[in-house]
Amino acid sequence: MFDDLTAPEADKILRLMAMFAADGRVDKVDLGVGVYRDPAGHTPIMAAVRRAEAAIAAEQVTKSYVGLSGDPAFCSALRDLILGDVVAPERVALCATPGGTGAVRQALELARHVSPDAAVWMPTPTWPNHPSMVGHLGQTANSYRYYDEATGGLDREGMLADLAQAKAGDVVLLHACCHNPTGADLRMEDWRTVGDVLDATGAVPFIDMAYLGFAEGLTEDATGTRHLAARLPEVLIAASCSKNFGLYRERVGLCLAVTSGPGPRAAVAGTMAHLNRQTFAFPPDHGARVVQTILGDAELRQMWEAELTGMRETMNANRAALADALRAETGSDRFGFLGAHRGMFSLIGADPAQVDRLREDHGIYVVGDGRMNVAGLTPDTIPRVARAIADVMG
């Protein structure tokens, strides 16, 4: 069976992780892997998470299964965090998943189950797992213009022109905030205009919400998603708690489907449970219970929100400091867009050869397309990173 098997190409980020681990230089800097790091360079366990885990350990009396769609209390708590009160709960079908990746996969599975011939429209560029999963599922993949490399901002005219070509029932992938890999987000007027286009075409928005709270704030980052959910009859949402709760290895995710009413909601909820059963059966519960505990306790929620604010402010400060350092090193504002981006990532505009030079000559590790994780910067490394970028790209 396996004699003629050829392994797929190794994931580029995992390959980069291995190269970084093998690099013996003490001053190497990892700006590739997509995890948050504090100013000391550590990926911490949030204090609210520690408190919640202690409470769970003291009070939990069983490790028996929860439902196929996960704990309803967790699903409801995260639904309320994401949608607020803009959509009646009886319109929203929910299922817990193994992380945000699992939520993306189950949303795509649901779309394929309902509309096998529908196209999935994805921004150029987008998170590499998006087109990989669409291709693996055999869905039709279409792209729409999104990022303007010349300005480091959004290609609004190109995006809207391309999205106008989507057909009724097609799925349009949008990033809720902190666009990965560019860091260039839709503004509120963009969300309204995209909503107009989707309303006219009948295409269904599919919002990947991996970084809620990392851009401007919990409410602010959800505003575009809430606008589409309130305006349109159907919306798909994939949510992750890996970044904003720091629960990377616990794999906490939620797939939401906003429907036109209680009847369709019941059918979609049943289908989601069925798809979970076919894929992984019962979703993991520990991380989900941590999230549920934090969101359901006023003191823990206040603690978590304060920590999340600190993480967001650290990343935004890193962006501003790097943009300033590059301005000083290059004598120009060509990297000024970095300060305006939001979230963990930005494209610095480096080609593959320049990425190689950053790694080989300076020990600065970024992904091959030039994606930089600004959360990997520290006050000590920012000046050296700026000098390296100026040297290689100047």
Residues with a catalytic annotation lie at 127, 208, 210, 243
Tally of CB atoms within 10 A around 280: 15
Map residue 346 onto helix, strand or coil.
strand
In the chain, helix, strand, coil percent, each to 5?
50, 15, 35
For residue 106, what are the contacts with CB-CB under 8 A and spacing of at least 6? 95, 97, 238, 255, 272, 275, 276, 279
For residue 263, what are the contacts with CB-CB under 8 A and spacing of at least 6? none
- List, in sequence order, every residue forming a beta bridge with 93; answer none if it has no partner: 257
Map residue 356 onto helix, strand or coil.
helix
Measured distance CA(253)–CA(100) in Å, rounded: 5
C-alpha separations of 232 from 91, 94, 194 in Å = 12, 18, 11
